[in-house]
């Protein structure tokens, strides 16, 4: 990047570390939302401590934190979210105002009207206007963001600027997850900067990170995997609580020591490390089961395109033992409807696929396979052999070894290859694989189901051949009654579990450890469209703490 500079001197002491190392959307009758900051207006705000908050991250680089150059996974979005605000946001209780101080849904017009904050400005001092919101929506129609779905039957029909502070967004059809997936996720862009940008993927200038959020980017170092943010004192909700935020790449082996020495304030840790730090000095936050480890299946090729073959794979893997061995008991087995048992949308009556290698053999024999002298299945003179790819991060390497052994024990010869994470994502996106071990979050609102099932992207199975599943996944978007929507979502999970576009292996116990200097929390429904992280920018920006 052309704009990179060295980190400030206070990071120098940390370079050794681097080197070593469900919120159901409101019904159509829900009306205006008051701004908590307005309710606090009469209260005195305590002066901000001039402090730096440092967060350790084992991966480091998640892309330049602009709306288009951030890496398209949760940590990349989080890096960007400190800089750019959305129309609405969420805290630990649910939806709260952001750039929009209030909003109202008009059932007759099937439209949301947003009234913007009168004091919101961009980091360069210009005011945020309704025209910026309209521009952003139109820009994303031409330049899609994988985190925001504007096109298609469930998208936006048109946007109308009422006046400088009021914008009305008309939907193509009823859209139950609109606040969750668009208004609460879409980073609003400054028109005066982006209107001349024809190629957002090539826009890496400092202007690309001029936002309206609580923090400005001061430094980004791709090689070191570090980020430095400084509070934007012109923020419309008041000067942020924390002066500077630093993300620094730190090896997992060094995190505990860095926390103990006070060199970092917070980090995501394995359970054993987290538990060893639990004390009066450190606080632990356990994530809900909104992240899953799963096995992607290339259903575009034989024999993986056969449903019965995918079912045979599911019976071959002892998911309870997988959790005991690879997660050391810190997690729960995956449900084949994708959503976890602690999710309010969960269907408990779907096929459980309990471990049964005998059933695997029965199904494969029904497909014409027989065993050779070594116990492996073959057909038409060819041995049944699959490639399994995984990555070393997040414990997926151990999961890959377990799955390979399970499949081979069941008679399916399996070749395992370990790749770097972004390389694995690229191979999955290009369908250059048989089986892949990977994971994703976002398992809160049922709007995630089509995103990881039928939509395009490396997180999606891109499975569109079951018309019944397609109809159910689309129908749940348009059902505004939560009770009726729940029925549809449960039916969709049952069809998904029968077809098995992918196999959900487990939901890990994830812990975030911090020193208690901030009141971090897990956002109800996840950050934006379901990122299971306690790094909600409002914990750093809210003057109410």
64 vs 17, more confident = 64
Judgement on whether residues 249 and 317 belong to the same structural domain of the protein: no
DSSP-derived letter for residue 21 is: -
Compute the average pLDDT of residues 242-262.
91
Among 147, 201, 188, smallest CA distance to 531 is for 147
Overall number of domains in the chain: 2
Q: Both tokens of residue 270?
A: 């394995």
Strand runs labelled E in 407-467: 413-419, 435-440
Q: Among the listed ranges 37-46, 196-205, 437-446, which one has the minimum average pLDDT value? A: 37-46
The pLDDT confidence band at residue 46, using thresholds 50, 70 and 90, is very low
Reply yes or no on whether the pLDDT at 88 is more than 80: yes
DSSP-derived letter for residue 543 is: T
pLDDT, one tens digit per residue, over 21-40 is 333 333 332 333 333 333 33
pLDDT at residue 388, as a whole number? 98
> Contact 531/232 with Cβ under 8 angstroms?
no
Four-residue CA torsion sign, 197, 200, 201, 203: positive
Judgement on whether residues 86 and 150 belong to the same structural domain of the protein: yes
C-alpha span between 298 and 445 (Å, rounded) = 26
Q: Is the peptide bond before 303 cis (omega within 30 degrees of 0)?
A: yes
Does residue 286 sit in helix, strand or coil? strand
pLDDT at residue 429, as a whole number? 85
Judgement on whether residues 131 and 239 belong to the same structural domain of the protein: yes
Does residue 326 sit in helix, strand or coil? helix
Q: Among the listed ranges 295-299, 356-360, 510-514, which one has the minimum average pLDDT value? A: 510-514
Strand runs labelled E in 153-291: 156-163, 166-171, 215-221, 226-231, 244-249, 266-269, 283-286
Q: Is residue 285 part of a domain?
A: no
Q: Is residue 341 part of a domain?
A: yes
409 vs 46, more confident = 409
pLDDT at residue 280, as a whole number? 65
pLDDT, one tens digit per residue, over 371-408 is 999 999 999 999 999 999 999 877 899 999 999 999 99
The pLDDT confidence band at residue 148, using thresholds 50, 70 and 90, is confident
> Contact 112/105 with Cβ under 8 angstroms?
yes
Q: Which residue has the tokens 């730090």?
A: 277
Judgement on whether residues 483 and 531 belong to the same structural domain of the protein: no
Q: Is residue 267 part of a domain?
A: no
Among 378, 360, 380, 358, smallest CA distance to 370 is for 378
Kindly give, in sequence order, each residue whose CB lies less than 8 Å from that of residue 528, ignoring residues fewer than 6 positions away.
Answer: 77, 81, 86, 90, 147, 184, 185
Q: Is residue 340 part of a domain?
A: yes
> Contact 482/455 with Cβ under 8 angstroms?
no
Judgement on whether residues 175 and 221 belong to the same structural domain of the protein: yes
Judgement on whether residues 328 and 225 belong to the same structural domain of the protein: no
Judgement on whether residues 483 and 527 belong to the same structural domain of the protein: no
pLDDT at residue 16, as a whole number? 33
Q: Both tokens of residue 430?
A: 């290009």
| CATH number of 345's domain | 3.10.105.10
pLDDT at residue 425, as a whole number? 85
Judgement on whether residues 247 and 368 belong to the same structural domain of the protein: no
Q: Is residue 109 part of a domain?
A: yes
**Residue 353 CA from chain centroid, whole number:** 27
Among 58, 65, 54, 75, smallest CA distance to 4 is for 65
C-alpha span between 180 and 525 (Å, rounded) = 8
The crossing angle, in degrees rounded to 10, of helices 396-409 and 319-326 is 140
Judgement on whether residues 239 and 330 belong to the same structural domain of the protein: no
Q: Is residue 3 part of a domain?
A: no
Compute the average pLDDT of residues 486-514.
96
Beta bridge partners of 514: 266, 283
> Contact 171/111 with Cβ under 8 angstroms?
yes
Reply yes or no on whether the pLDDT at 19 is more than 70: no
pLDDT, one tens digit per residue, over 208-220 is 999 999 999 999 9
> Contact 534/265 with Cβ under 8 angstroms?
no
Q: Is residue 498 part of a domain?
A: yes
> Contact 403/386 with Cβ under 8 angstroms?
no
pLDDT at residue 66, as a whole number? 97
The pLDDT confidence band at residue 117, using thresholds 50, 70 and 90, is very high
C-alpha span between 37 and 34 (Å, rounded) = 9
C-alpha span between 507 and 331 (Å, rounded) = 5
> Contact 307/500 with Cβ under 8 angstroms?
yes
Among 270, 534, 527, smallest CA distance to 394 is for 270
356 vs 256, more confident = 356
Q: Is residue 259 part of a domain?
A: no
The pLDDT confidence band at residue 539, using thresholds 50, 70 and 90, is very high
The pLDDT confidence band at residue 415, using thresholds 50, 70 and 90, is very high
Reply yes or no on whether the pLDDT at 513 is more than 70: yes
Q: Among the listed ranges 119-128, 277-286, 426-435, 469-478, which one has the minimum average pLDDT value? A: 277-286
Judgement on whether residues 210 and 306 belong to the same structural domain of the protein: no
pLDDT at residue 32, as a whole number? 34
Judgement on whether residues 118 and 173 belong to the same structural domain of the protein: yes
pLDDT, one tens digit per residue, over 257-281 is 899 899 999 998 877 777 778 776 8
Domain ranges, residue 342: 292-508
pLDDT at residue 3, as a whole number? 43
C-alpha span between 184 and 191 (Å, rounded) = 19
C-alpha span between 476 and 190 (Å, rounded) = 33
Kindly give, in sequence order, each residue whose CB lies less than 8 Å from that of residue 67, ignoring residues fewer than 6 positions away.
Answer: 80, 84, 145, 187, 189, 200
- With vertex at residue 317, the alpha carbon angle to CA 505 and CA 327, rounded to the nearest 5 degrees, is 50
Q: Among the listed ranges 95-109, 226-240, 275-289, which one has the minimum average pLDDT value? A: 275-289
Reply yes or no on whether the pLDDT at 7 is more than 90: no
pLDDT, one tens digit per residue, over 308-317 is 999 999 999 9
C-alpha span between 357 and 314 (Å, rounded) = 9
C-alpha span between 477 and 456 (Å, rounded) = 17
Judgement on whether residues 151 and 175 belong to the same structural domain of the protein: yes
| CATH number of 211's domain | 3.40.190.10
Beta bridge partners of 296: 436, 502
Among 221, 231, 292, smallest CA distance to 5 is for 221
pLDDT at residue 151, as a whole number? 53
> Contact 75/439 with Cβ under 8 angstroms?
no
pLDDT at residue 13, as a whole number? 39
Number of Cβ atoms within 10 Å of the Cβ of 500: 24
> Contact 112/157 with Cβ under 8 angstroms?
no
Does residue 77 sit in helix, strand or coil? helix
Mean pLDDT of the chain: 88
Among 167, 195, 196, 202, smallest CA distance to 68 is for 202
Helix (H) or strand (E) holding 114: strand 111-116
C-alpha span between 1 and 39 (Å, rounded) = 42
pLDDT at residue 234, as a whole number? 96
Reply yes or no on whether the pLDDT at 84 is more than 60: yes
The crossing angle, in degrees rounded to 10, of helices 357-366 and 307-316 is 160
Q: Among the listed ranges 64-68, 414-418, 476-480, which one has the minimum average pLDDT value? A: 476-480
Compute the average pLDDT of residues 84-95.
96
Q: Which of 187-196, 269-278, 436-445, 456-465 shows the highest mean pLDDT? A: 187-196
Per-residue burial over 21-56, b if 16 or more Cβ lie within 10 Å, else e, is bbbbbbeeeeeebebebeeeeeeeeeeeeeebbbbb
Does residue 515 sit in helix, strand or coil? coil
The pLDDT confidence band at residue 58, using thresholds 50, 70 and 90, is confident
Among 449, 447, 467, 465, smallest CA distance to 504 is for 449
Does residue 193 sit in helix, strand or coil? helix
Global pTM reads: 0.79
pLDDT at residue 1, as a whole number? 44
């Amino acid at each position: 990047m052309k704009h990179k500079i060295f980190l400030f001197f206070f990071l120098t002491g940390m370079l050794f570390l681097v080197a070593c190392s469900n919120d159901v959307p409101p019904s159509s009758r829900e009306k205006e939302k008051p701004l908590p900051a307005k309710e606090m207006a009469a209260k005195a705000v305590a002066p901000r401590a001039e402090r730096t908050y440092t967060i350790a991250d084992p991966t480091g680089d998640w892309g330049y934190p602009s709306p288009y150059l951030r890496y398209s996974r949760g940590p990349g979005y989080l890096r960007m979210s400190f800089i750019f605000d959305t129309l609405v946001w969420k805290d630990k209780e649910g939806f709260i105002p952001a750039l929009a101080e209030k909003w109202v849904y008009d059932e007759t017009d099937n439209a949301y009207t947003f009234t913007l904050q009168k004091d919101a400005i961009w980091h360069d001092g210009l005011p945020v206007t309704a025209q910026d919101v309209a521009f952003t929506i139109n820009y994303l129609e031409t330049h899609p963001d994988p985190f925001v779905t504007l096109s298609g039957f469930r998208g936006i029909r048109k946007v109308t600027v009422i006046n400088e502070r009021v914008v009305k967004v008309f939907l193509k059809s009823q859209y139950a997850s609109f606040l969750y997936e668009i208004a609460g996720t879409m980073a609003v862009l400054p028109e005066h900067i982006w209107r001349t940008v024809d190629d957002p993927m090539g826009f890496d200038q400092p202007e690309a990170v001029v936002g309206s959020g609580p923090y400005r980017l001061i430094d980004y170092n791709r090689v070191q995997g570090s980020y430095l943010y400084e509070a934007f004192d012109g923020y419309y909700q008041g000067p942020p609580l924390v002066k500077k935020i630093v993300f620094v790449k730190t090896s997992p082996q060094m995190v505990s020591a860095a926390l103990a020495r006070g060199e970092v304030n917070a980090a995501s840790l394995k359970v054993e490390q987290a538990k060893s730090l639990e004390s009066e000095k450190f606080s632990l936050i356990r994530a809900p089961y909104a992240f899953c480890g799963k096995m992607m299946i290339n259903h575009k090729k034989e024999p993986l395109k056969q449903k019965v073959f995918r079912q045979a794979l599911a019976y071959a893997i002892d998911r309870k033992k997988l959790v005991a061995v690879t997660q050391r008991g810190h997690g729960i087995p995956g449900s084949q409807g994708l959503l976890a048992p602690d999710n309010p949308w969960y269907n408990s009556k779907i096929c459980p696929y309990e471990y049964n290698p005998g059933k695997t053999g029965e199904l494969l024999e029904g497909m014409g396979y027989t065993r050779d002298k070594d116990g492996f299945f073959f057909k038409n003179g060819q041995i049944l052999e699959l490639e399994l790819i995984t990555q070393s991060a997040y414990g997926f390497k151990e999961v890959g070894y377990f799955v390979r052994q399970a499949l081979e024990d069941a008679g399916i010869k399996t070749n395992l290859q370990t790749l770097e994470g972004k390389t694995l994502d690229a191979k999955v996106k290009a369908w250059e694989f048989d089986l892949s071990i990977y994971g994703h979050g976002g398992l809160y609102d049922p709007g995630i189901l089509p995103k990881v099932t039928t939509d395009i992207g490396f997180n999606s199975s891109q499975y569109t051949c079951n018309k019944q599943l397609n109809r159910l996944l689309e129908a749940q978007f348009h059902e505004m009654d939560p009770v009726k929507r729940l029925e549809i979502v449960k039916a969709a999970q049952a069809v998904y579990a029968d077809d098995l576009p992918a196999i959900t292996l487990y939901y890990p116990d994830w812990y975030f450890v911090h020193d208690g200097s901030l009141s971090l929390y897990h956002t109800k429904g996840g950050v934006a469209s379901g990122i299971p992280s306690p790094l909600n920018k409002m914990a750093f920006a809210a003057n109410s703490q």
